[in-house]
Amino acid sequence: MPSKSTTERARRDLQQGKRPSTAAGEFVREEIEHVRRGKHGARSTRQAIAIGLSQARRAGVPLQPPKKAQAKASTRRSAERDYEVGQGRRKPKAPSSRRSRATEHALKREGRGAASRGALSAHAKRAAAARRHRGGSSGASARAR
C-alpha cells in the first residue's frame, strides 16, 4: 500500500501536466526506499520497479500497459487489470490473505541489493542501451522530432 504522501506527490505531478511516467516514478521511488530500508527485498531492480508501476496504476495514474512486443502476455494482462482498477473500470479484488502473506514472506526472503546504487546504475545503463538499439521509436527521440 503506497503512503498518502506518495499518492499526493503523484497527483500533484499530474495536475502540473507532467507525464504519467513521471507520476509513476514517485511510486517506484517509494518501492526502492522500502527495499533499501529492509521492509522487504526484491530479486532484481526490475522487480522493484515493476511493483512500483503496478501500485501506480492501481492508484489511478493513467500509465498505459506495455505494448505487445515490450512485455510477456501475463505481465501485460496484469498491467491491464491494474490500469482498469485505477481508472475505476474494474473493482479491485484483493488476493486471499493466505496468498498475500505468502507473497510478502517470499519478498522478505529476497536480497536488498536490488535497490543499491550500483544495481540501479547498471539497470539504467542496460535500459538506455536497449532503447538505443530499438531505433528511435520511443522516448525522447520520438518527442524531439
> Taking the chain, what is the end-to-end CA distance rounded to the nearest angstrom?
39
pLDDT, residue 140, reads 60
C-alpha closest to that of 64 among 87, 47, 44: 87
What residues of the chain score a pLDDT lower than 50? none
pLDDT, residue 141, reads 57
What DSSP letter does each residue of 77-99 carry, written as one string? Answer: HHHHHHHHHHTTSS---PPPHHH
pLDDT, residue 145, reads 55
CB 36 within 8 Å of CB 112: yes
pLDDT, residue 105, reads 97
CA distances from 68 to 50, 55, 102, 142 (A): 17, 21, 30, 19
C-alpha closest to that of 51 among 43, 125, 12: 43
Q: What is the pTM of this model?
A: 0.87
pLDDT, residue 70, reads 86
pLDDT, residue 134, reads 78
